[in-house]
Structure 1
Amino acid sequence: MKTFTEQLSFLSEGAISILDHNIALERYVPIDLSVDNKDLKTRNITDPEICASYIDQQLVTHKGSVAYGGYLEKRNLYSDKEGFSGNALHPRNIHLGVDFWCTAGTKVQTPISGKVHSFKDNASVGDYGPTVILEHQLVDEVFYTLYGHLSRTSLEGLFVGKKFIAGSVLGDLGTPEVNLNYAPHLHFQIIRDMKGYSGDYPGVCSQKNLAFYRKNCPDPNILLKL
């Protein structure tokens, strides 16, 4: 029997565009927002304008339109948010998905076919804002994909069970006012077991809980192949 990651990998033969299909995959460029990035030592990236300015600078340098990355990346991006840094011994600062940084309003496309599991406007400071979770079926296992930091209009007309085919438009990226003080981006995460969550699921964890989340939230690039 194939493992979950093997089945996941077989769902796609090559790289998948998760944003507007008019943006060529060659315009997707990797970005490092980790605590190890020396360029960020003097920048307060918790400020969405400073963060967006740095991302734009990287896109210009590398001739890109979308900056992406962040799986299991330890970041300072959450250090100003009580829900992440409140526990000094075990701060939540390890990112569990892949972020796609691009202009607010950019369309988000479903990488594979699925149906709506749940959706919610997670409006607490530092959370996702408007969020959609899709459910997918493998041969012998159900799994889920999460799309966070969308616009509020992305939630209009949704209902549990609504089907989306691969490549269809799910929504678009929200502004910092809507996505709760982050530069515009899509947070994309794969989840094996929702553990009872609906319309939400942790996107950042502590080192203490990393072993569990690494297994329950495998690298999205296994599917996207960027």
Structure 2
Amino acid sequence: MNATELLAAHFKANPHIITGKVVDINAITDKLYQLDFTEANAELTPGLVTNTSAFSNWVGQKLSNCNCRYGIGGYMEHRTVYTRSALFNTGNEPRRLHLGVDIWGDANVPVYAPLNGMVHSFADNDHFGDYGPTIILKHDLEGLTLYSLYGHLSRGSLSSLSKGQTIKANQQIATFGNAAENGSWPPHLHFQLMLDIGDAYGDYPGVGYYSEKDKYLQNIPDPELILHFAELIKY
């Protein structure tokens, strides 16, 4: 049983665990755009993805053209966009496998905790291509420990946090950061779930080695179990 199957079974066995929202969304009126950051997308030229302003404009135009509130995608996606930063090119194999889900939108979009929990850790991972401001929450789900990570936040999101702070489901915890503070990316949220994070503090890999995909699947559940976005993807 992989991590997604384990978490899905746990939710089914404990139906009183109600998941909340991560971003504001109206299931009746909102539409989502599925963004593709794999080599199959010929629009993602090196000149585009290395130019943060041009990259941001490209994402914004995609959403505007289809009147979509957010762009979505990325879980276990083998991406080419990480060529933009040396951060992902260390070692014998470059890191290209995206481990969470990205929600693309405007800077300052509110971010919420979908489950009751506590602040495990937070940090400003301030490097080109990195998360920028990051929050990790810890959730005790009736005997199953789950961690949720929120990356590419605004710096103000970290200002009133403390380790061990109690967080309630649907409580606003952050906002999307802009490119000047979020690791130089178009505004978006990296949302990721983990069953175990070891001794990680304020940071946990959001991009891994494609050759280790099977290993990641044992620890990193599909965020769709919480987001419930599949039916809202229109493009």
Instruction: Provide TM-score, normalisation by structure 1.
Output: 0.89
Query: What value does the CA root-mean-square deviation take over the aligned residues?
Result: 2.0
Which residue in 1 is equivalent to 2:40? 36
Which 5+ residue runs of structure 1 have no aligned equivalent? none
Which residue in 1 is equivalent to 2:152? 149
Deviation of 1:63 (Å): 1.4
For the 8 Å contact 1:29–1:67, the answer to whether it is kept is yes
Which 5+ residue runs of structure 2 have no aligned equivalent? 230-235
Which residue in 2 is equivalent to 1:162? 165
CA deviation profile, 1:77-124 (whole Å, cap 9, x unmatched): 21032221233x411011000001111111111122211011111112
Instruction: Give 1:1-226 correspondences, 5 Å limit.
Output: 3-8=6-11, 10=15, 11-12=17-18, 17-19=21-23, 21=24, 23-25=25-27, 26-41=30-45, 44-87=48-91, 89-226=92-229
CA deviation profile, 1:153-202 (whole Å, cap 9, x unmatched): 10011111112211111111111111121111100000110111011000
CA deviation profile, 1:50-73 (whole Å, cap 9, x unmatched): 222221222122211111111111
Q: Which amino acid aligns with 1:214?
A: L
- Count the aligned residue pairs: 220
Q: Identity across aligned pairs (percent)?
A: 35
Instruction: Provide TM-score, normalisation by structure 2.
Output: 0.86
Distance 1:94 1:172 in 2: 25
Distance 1:62 1:147 in 2: 26
Distance 2:158 2:183 in 1: 16
For the 8 Å contact 1:46–1:182, the answer to whether it is kept is no
Runs of 4+ in 1 over 6 A off after TM superposition: none
CA deviation profile, 1:4-38 (whole Å, cap 9, x unmatched): 3322465447xx5422x3x4242333222222223
For the 8 Å contact 1:104–1:172, the answer to whether it is kept is yes
Deviation of 1:41 (Å): 4.5
Which residue in 1 is equivalent to 2:232? none
Closer/same/farther in 2, CA of residues 40 and 80 from structure 1, 3 Å limit: closer
Closer/same/farther in 2, CA of residues 113 and 58 from structure 1, 3 Å limit: same
Closer/same/farther in 2, CA of residues 8 and 125 from structure 1, 3 Å limit: farther
For the 8 Å contact 2:7–2:221, the answer to whether it is kept is no
Closer/same/farther in 2, CA of residues 136 and 127 from structure 1, 3 Å limit: same
Q: Which amino acid aligns with 1:218?
A: P
Distance 1:188 1:109 in 2: 11
Closer/same/farther in 2, CA of residues 3 and 213 from structure 1, 3 Å limit: closer
For the 8 Å contact 2:78–2:210, the answer to whether it is kept is no
Closer/same/farther in 2, CA of residues 198 and 61 from structure 1, 3 Å limit: same
Distance 1:18 1:52 in 2: 22
